[in-house]
Amino acid sequence: MATLVYNSNNNFTAHRNGTYVVECLGGGGGAGSNNRIGANNGTSGAGGGAYARSTVTLVKNNNYNIVVGAGGAAGLNNNNGSNGTASSFNSNEVLAQPGLRSLRTVTSYGAGGNAGNSTGDQVYAGGAGATRPTGAGRGGGGGAAAGNVNNGNAGDGNIGGVGANDGGSGGAGGNANASGENGVPPGSGGGGSGNGNTGGTIKGGNGTPGYVKITYPDIVLGEVAVGGFSLA
């Protein structure tokens, strides 16, 4: 068996008739920022992307579209973050939902990618971002991406959710007067910013892109692959 990993939009051409395993991971959400001074004015973390896997039947020489979910951009200087985007194969035959953004309002964390709205034989939810801790001016940790056998772990306090089984860990929330950290690829949510200094620049952490993976049978002896080469 061989596996192709796509980190950007593309097309896949089936080299034979038969079954292929397709895995999708949605992009993680970006975290908001808050430039207000105060012990409880950090922002919350953003959510990690969902995972979906299916065995699909493909036709030799047919092309199938691949969409790889982008990570959401962080909010800068008292602005909301942006949602991640979904990853999909063959016009949503396999679909993994993205992690959602956190807002500049201090308790509005980002939800993890929704497994129920994803499409696949196996689906797992992304981890939620953490609500910002109280009393220290810190931001909340981002949610981890879903793994290939598990839901993603939520952020905890200012610590990002721990990733496992091909899911990235969420970014840590920023300390007081500091920006949140970007998520760890793939598919994780950014950490929320700490409380801000109105005279400085402060931002949340960026979400990270997801992926699409395709596992397929090896080319056998004498079989001509798409593109014209063969194993002799």
Work out the pLDDT band at 225, boundaries 50, 70, 90.
Answer: very low
- What's the whole-model pTM score? 0.92
pLDDT at 199: 58
Mean pLDDT of the chain: 91
Tokens representing 4 are 């192709």
- Report how far residue 106's alpha carbon sits from residue 29's, in angstroms, rounded to the nearest whole number: 16
How do residues 97-143 score in pLDDT, each as one tens digit? 999 999 988 789 999 999 999 999 999 999 999 999 887 889 999 99
174-210 residues labelled b (16+ CB within 10 A) or e (exposed): bbbbbbbbbbbbbbbbbbbbbbbeeeeebbbbbbbbb
**64 strand-pairing partners:** 12
pLDDT at 114: 98
Residues 49, 23: contact at Cβ < 8 Å? no
